[in-house]
Amino acid sequence: QQQVKQSPQSLIVQKGGISIINCAYENTAFDYFPWYQQFPGKGPALLIAIRPDVSEKKEGRFTISFNKSAKQFSLHIMDSQPGDSATYFCAARILGNQFYFGTGTSLTVIP
C-alpha cells in the first residue's frame, strides 16, 4: 500500500511557468515532509522540507504548501527553468521510524 500518493507522474512546463506537484497521505503520525530532487545518474537530494505545524515554506523559487486538514502537500516551482528538469519525490516521516516516498514526478521545463 502506497503511504504517500504523488501526482502527476510527469509534467511539462514552459520556461517561466509554475510547476506544481501534489502529494497526499493518510497516516496522521507523519511529522515531517521533505521533497527530493533527482537528476539523471544521481541520487535524490533534499530540496526543501516542512513540518505539519506550518502551512507554507518558501526557499527561493521553491515553495511547499501544506494542508493538514486535507492531508495534502504540494511543491510549487516558480519561474521554472530548464535546469529544474528532474524527477521530484515527496516523502513523509514517522518520528522514530522510516521515510515513505511518493512514486516521483518527472518534470520537463521547455525553453
Which chain residues interact with other proteins by CB under 8 A?
32, 34, 36, 41-46, 49, 89, 93, 95-99, 101-104
The residue among 70 and 95 lying less far from other proteins, judged by its C-beta, is 95
CA distance 50 to 33: 5
**For residues 55 and 98, which CB has a smaller minimum distance to other proteins in the complex?**
98
Residue 19 or 104 having the CB closest to other proteins: 104
* 105-110 and 10-14 beta bridge pairing: parallel
- Amino acid (1-letter code) at residue 48: I
- Shortest Cβ 9–other proteins spacing (Å): 10
Which residues are bridge partners to 32 per DSSP?
93
C-alpha cell recorded at residue 56: 507554507
